[in-house]
Structure 1
Amino acid sequence: MKAYVLMGPTCVGKTESSLLLAEALKSEIISADSMQVYKYMDIGTAKPSLDKLRAVPHHMIDVALPTEEFSAGRFVAEAVPIIEELCKGGKHPVIAGGTGFYIRALSEGLFEGPEADWQLRQQLDSDEANCEGFLYNLLCYIDPVTALKIKQGDKRRIIRALEVIFKLGVPMSEAQKNTTPSVNCGFVKICLTRERTELYRMIEDRVDVMVHDGLFEEARVLFDMPLSKTTSRAIGYREAFSYFRGEVGRDEAVLNIKQATRRYAKRQMTWFRAEKDINWIDITGIFDPKKIYDKIISLTSTN
């Protein structure tokens, strides 16, 4: 049994297309969105409307509180039984979302590595403080394959990679080869893309709609909660929080949301381009969900 994975950058048109695909397959949708897992974060994460949620069963939405962290490991642990149950029932699961790490964890397996060694991390952090660039150069020497996947300024990921190497005694890139798919089914991966200028215009339009629909009011409720580190940094909310603290004006906060969302879309595309076995569908100039769905169907009919 195959699972269909519909991915793409934010605002590209995944939601409507995934609904039509799931309806055609008489199946259900598993959301692969690291922010839609949180309750009370509806407008800012562009969750499907109640009507859409009723039309097609959705999973992995509203499964965590904004005061707690939600990991890829938990996503896999909760999503896999749902996918397996759908497959046993003869249904093709539709996995839709823009969190590439969650999708990779399902299709290729999740490498969790050793537990955090805070003493080692502190030592590595100290080494970097004494000589800027030392840790990245060290990683390039020990594990150039992993180093190519990490930006030189991403100290957190560099330290984690070195931590894994020192704890396991092998390059992280070698250790990751031992992972196996989290779920026993085939995956048909589809990535929707648009010309960048068009996508950015759609992002700006969506942010305007979110603000009109009450994003700041929704964020105000969250502002008074003891949020997790992840939710406190969520795009749309952190900019609103900055406005609530008096650090920026409301108009500037809106502009900051648009800029942060554009940057996020760019990072998403960078991730997807590095993925394996993706079927790319350029939908530039196509805004009718039915026409996008038709392009998806024409591709899936050969898979």
Structure 2
Amino acid sequence: MHIQRPIAPAKTPTQATEPRNKIIWKQAISFKTARGNIVLSSSVPILLVICGATATGKTGLAIKLAKRLEAATGRQSLILSADSRQVYREFTIGTAKPSSFELAEVPHALVDICDPRRVLTVAEYQAQARELIGTCHRDGVMPLLVGGTGLYIRSVIRGMKIPPVAPQYGLRSQLESLGQAQCHAILSQVDPEAAGRIHPNDPVRTLRALEVFYVTGKPITAQQGEDPPDYKVINIGLASDRQGDRIFRRAEQMMEQGFVTEVKELVDRYGDDLPLLNTLGYAEVRQYLRGEIGLPEATRLTALHTRQFAKRQRNWFRSDDSIEWFDSDDLELVDRVWDRLAGVI
């Protein structure tokens, strides 16, 4: 299987031969660890998900597990990013994309796949992710879906049917001018089922439902549903009591790594009204570049807003009963997760 690293060159995993794949895929493999013998069985295709809020060490854990799997069985892995900003090219430091070292350790996909001037829809992401997962399973490679964008992950592991409609900013602006009450009333006429599901004070979902209706001519409820995948999903979640400290340190590191220069170059190249420049970190640095705040304040606000965002992420993931939670501050985290995977992967 040929896997392209989108940021930094590194060794590409060679396609495993058929006999080797058959051994790994259809037979149990026993090996010793510090905690005793472990048997890996791959009779059913597996997708390993590592999810959680920002700054909880998801990528680091994924890399360690992938390297341990290869050392134990010879089987290679592919990390599929589940981050709604890492998909965009040139937005690097502020989105905490994998470093060149991390990319050299284990191949990554679904990073740097979209021009920042267009919008990658959830449907497009889902299609690419599921195609890559299928290729991994055919070629004997272990896919790891890793990230903090809950909707991306849910779309893949539940097989959500999603209308392939990109955001229509002009239409949204017109609808917003009507007010939420009027928009929800319109939705009640064109899609009563959606209106019944969506709270009258939820403008985000109301606008999305209307947007899909006006673009496709069909109610959003008629285009939704689920098509569950034919592989087993192991859903690992990471949480940290030190997340606030991690987030502030990451904000400091971003500034040290040249984040201000990155933002300035993006503004010069694409203009100040590019939607991605209004997202976490980028918006605060733009305030600094306009002379509205100092750099320490931009750093503080970036950390503050990221903590607020992380809280929303935690709430999203905690509503999912399929997630098995681990403490990312646990010194034995890798061993504990590895033991959980014993007999499954």
TM-score in terms of structure 2 length: 0.73
In the TM superposition, residue 36 of structure 1 has moved relative to its aligned partner by 1.3
What's the offset of the Cα at 1:272?
0.8
Describe how 1:110-259 pairs up with structure 2 within 5 A.
Answer: 110-113=160-163, 125=176, 127-128=178-179, 133=181, 135=183, 143=194, 146-147=197-198, 152=201, 154-161=202-209, 168=218, 172=221, 176-177=224-225, 179-181=226-228, 183-195=229-241, 198-226=242-270, 229-259=274-304
Alignment partner, residue 56 of structure 2: 12
Secondary structure of the residue aligned to 1:28 is: strand
**CA distance in structure 2 between the aligned counterparts of 1:202 and 1:241, rounded to whole angstroms:** 23
Aligned residue type for 2:147: G
1:78 to 2:122 alignment: no
The reply to whether residue 294 of structure 1 matches residue 341 of structure 2 is no
CA contact (8 A) 2:122 2:162 kept: no
CA RMSD of superposed structures (Å):
3.0
**Which whole-Å CA distance do the structure 1 matches of 2:169 and 2:291 have between them?**
35
1:40 match: 90
> What are the superposed Cα offsets for residues 199-239 of structure 1, whole Å, 9 maximum, x if unpaired?
11111111111111211122111121226844222211121
Aligned AA (1:43): I
User: Structure 2: how far apart are the matches of 1:48 and 1:56?
Assistant: 10
- Structure 1 distance, partners of 2:116, 2:213, is 33
Name the CA distance, whole Å, in 2 between partners of 1:120 and 1:224: 28
Q: Which of 1 and 2 has higher RCO (CA within 8 Å, sep 6+)?
A: 1
Give TM-score, length-normalised by structure 1: 0.82
User: Counterpart of 2:48 in structure 1: which amino acid?
Assistant: Y
Paired residue for 1:50? 100
Higher Cα Rg: structure 1 or 2? 2
Q: What is the CA distance between 1:264 and its match in structure 2?
A: 1.1
1:245 CA displacement: 1.9
Q: Deviations over 1:124-163 (max 9, x none)?
A: 54553xxx64656897985577336xx93x4232222356
Alignment correspondent of 1:63? 113
The 8 Å contact of residues 161 and 227 in structure 2, kept in 1 or not, is answered as: no
Aligned to 2:21: none
Aligned partners of 1:35 and 1:234 also within 8 Å: no
Instruction: Report percent identity of matched pairs.
Output: 32
What is the number of equivalent residue pairs in this alignment? 287
Q: 2:154 aligns with which of 91, 95, 104?
A: 104
* Letter of the structure 2 residue corresponding to residue 210 of structure 1: M
Distance 1:96 1:184 in 2: 19
Contact kept in structure 2, 1:32 and 1:97, CA below 8 Å: yes
Residues 63-110 of structure 1: CA deviation (Å, up to 9, x unaligned)? 223233222222123222221111011222111111111111111124
Larger helix share, 1 or 2: 1
Q: Displacement of 1:296 after TM fit?
A: 1.3
User: Secondary structure of the equivalent of 2:89?
Assistant: coil
- 2:239 corresponds to which letter in structure 1? T
Distance of 1:80 and 1:114 partners within structure 2: 15
**Amino acid corresponding to residue 249 of structure 1 in structure 2:** G
Task: For residue 175 of structure 1, report the CA deviation from its aligned partner.
Answer: 5.5
Q: Do the aligned residues in 2 keep the contact of 1:139 with 1:147 (CA within 8 Å)?
A: no
The C-alpha deviation readout for 1:34-59, integer Å capped at 9, x for no partner, is 11122222221112221210111111
Q: Structure 1, residues 243-297: CA drift from partner, whole Å, max 9, x if none?
A: 11222222221111011110111111111122351112233x43x5xx2211211
